Structure 1
Amino acid sequence: MTTVTLITKADCHLCEVAREVIEAVVAELPDAAADAISLEELPIESDPRLQERWWDKVPVVFVDDDLLGHWRVAPDRLREALLARA
């Protein structure tokens, strides 16, 4: 199972865009690959360590434990990372 983790904060337009990009990329993958992906959202406000590390970089996206990026999600980069794990 591959986990995509999205660190978000309240009222964050870029977080909504990032979620949409992630969902669109997963929807385009072959069924077997898409079925092996889970999306986990972590609200940054819930963890002081997340706030300290990522507050000014939200949204932040990890694929498993690997940082994919922050602020904007590149669909091609995400697709490549997910297919590499499939």
Structure 2
Amino acid sequence: MSRLVLLTRPGCHLCDVAKEAMARVSEATGEPWDEVDVETDLELETEYGDRLPVILLDGREHGYWRVEEERLLRDLRRGGSAR
């Protein structure tokens, strides 16, 4: 799995916006990202519910509802998920 993961669900308009932001981040850094539909994993759906999209960096929650692109770019360059 990639360092960057976007947790989504079908029909989520914020998820669509987040996918566009993740594509921009990926293009700027060359860092690939994976999308995971929480409806395919009961544990993820229970944990995140309607608090989607969620951005994970190195397996840790980096943010939710929207991609803070500048912060994510900074943290990718630093090599971690620091706030």
Same fold? TM cut 0.5: yes
Runs of 4+ in 1 over 6 A off after TM superposition: none
Aligned residues: 80
Q: Which has the higher helix share?
A: 1
Contact 2:8 2:52 in 1 (8 A): yes
Long gaps (5+) in structure 2 = none
CA distance in 2, matches of 1:2, 1:8: 16
The structure that has the greater radius of gyration is 1
Instruction: Give the aligned partner of residue 13 of structure 1.
Output: 13
TM-score, normalised by the number of residues in structure 1: 0.83
CA distance in 2, matches of 1:40, 1:28: 16
What is the CA distance between 1:41 and its match in structure 2? Answer: 0.8
- Specify which structure has the bigger relative contact order, considering alpha-carbon pairs within 8 angstroms and separated by 6 or more residues: 1
Identity rate of aligned residues, in percent?
Answer: 32
Long gaps (5+) in structure 1 = none
Instruction: Give the aligned partner of residue 39 of structure 1.
Output: 33
TM-score, normalised by the number of residues in structure 2: 0.86
Instruction: Give the aligned partner of residue 48 of structure 2.
Output: 54
Taking only aligned residues, the RMSD between alpha carbons, in angstroms, comes to 1.8
